[in-house]
Amino acid sequence: MKTQVAIVGAGPAGLLLGHLLRAEGIDCVVVERQTGDYVLSRIRAGVLERITVELMEQLGLDVRLRAEGLVEEGFNLADGERLIRIDVANLTGKTVVVYGQTEITRDLMDAAAPRGLEVIYEAGDVALHDIDSEAPFVTYAKDGVSQRIDARFIVGCDGFHGPSRQAIPASVGRSFERVYPFGWLGILADVPPCNKELIYANHERGFALASMRSHTRSRYYIDVPLTEKIEDWSDDRIWDELAVRLGPDAAARITRGPSIEKSIAPLRSFVFEPMRYGSLLLCGDAAHIVPPTGAKGLNLAASDVHYAAAALSGFFKRGDADAVAGYSEKALARVWKAERFSWSLTKLMHRFPDDGPFERRMQVAELDYIATSRAAQQTIAENYVGLPV
């Protein structure tokens, strides 16, 4: 098979890029090692920045998003009995939308065949070759038969553990990483949210987050040591802990119910540089991971895809190679700012095991400053709603 762009990974980043390229008349093929059902089963983020919403609008794939998405004008930081509301709409003139990553993926997946986007699922043993040349290719196995896709460019949208980043020589790439000493235990339940806006809580027993996926489906998190096992956490134990950490007002509005999904996810900050090597571009988790505190994972992938689609479109339609050459620098500038915000919010709202009285006083002072300073709130709001692309 020959194509102009081979995309590795059919998560939201790979599918979004495929649709954007097809809309520009650029040939592309997406290969994915998992089944489509498996891709849809992954429970992920749910807060969308403007860039993500605008790309779905640009593609005309925003019908369900507009009908079912919850427009959020602000969110809350809680410390003890105090609730600090960050009025995002008033401070920035923008909003975010709560709409699950699974739903974004479903919208993109359902539109693939009608729009001529070829997606090959259950592609095993995916490998990238000759990425330092102008004729790279991808090999994979399908139904026991070896296959090959020749392309002009390959875009790796295959996540942290995928083969794309691994294809870049160790002598070229450099990784930056911070592993956090706790994980997020998440519970998803078909119950109404306890609050119409998200609540991030810093409690002496640990962090908690009250979030939602819809008016009838809620997503909650607490931080736990990495040694914890999910089977030791019954639904009742999680609800009890949430009630304590979120504070009495939120606890009074919590509706308990059986979990649909429970899991513990470790937290890390990770960036790989460069995001382009030869004819390979990296997008999303293949190049960077953020702790979920800042709600940036999916949105960073979307901004990567925005830059990559523009660069590849310029190359194929106008013969402009400069945008491809500058892709990594442009994408990384936004990535590092989002990493900074996610890292700083994680530090502010979590109690770290090695922290002492000084670090706690710093958190209190920072929260006091945020509560009384419009400038501080505006900085948080600008980052939360998404910096310009």
Beta-carbon count within 10 A of 167 CB = 23
How far is the C-alpha of 274 from the C-alpha of 167, rounded, in Å? 12
Tokens standing for 264?
């513990």
How far is the C-alpha of 209 from the C-alpha of 97, rounded, in Å? 17
pTM over 0.85: yes
Q: How confident is the model at residue 315, as a pLDDT?
A: 97
Q: Let me know: does 13 contact 284? Beta carbons within 8 Å.
A: yes
Q: Compute the Cα dihedral for 283, 289, 293, 294 and give only its sign.
A: negative
Q: How confident is the model at residue 200, as a pLDDT?
A: 96
pLDDT 10s digits, 239-275: 999 999 999 999 999 999 999 999 999 999 999 999 9
* 351 CB-near residues (< 8 Å, 6+ apart): 202, 204, 206, 207, 360
How far is the C-alpha of 108 from the C-alpha of 104, rounded, in Å? 6
Of 126, 134, 114, the residue nearest 30 (C-alpha): 126
Q: How confident is the model at residue 80, as a pLDDT?
A: 77
Q: How confident is the model at residue 43, as a pLDDT?
A: 67
Q: How confident is the model at residue 12, as a pLDDT?
A: 95
Q: How confident is the model at residue 258, as a pLDDT?
A: 97
Q: How confident is the model at residue 24, as a pLDDT?
A: 96
Of 279, 290, 274, the residue nearest 328 (C-alpha): 274
How far is the C-alpha of 186 from the C-alpha of 219, rounded, in Å? 7
CA triple 284-286-291, angle to 5 deg: 65
pLDDT along the chain (389 residues), means of 10: 97 97 97 92 82 96 95 92 92 94 94 96 97 97 95 97 96 96 95 95 95 92 96 97 94 96 94 98 97 92 98 95 96 97 96 94 96 97 95
Q: Let me know: does 112 contact 119? Beta carbons within 8 Å.
A: yes
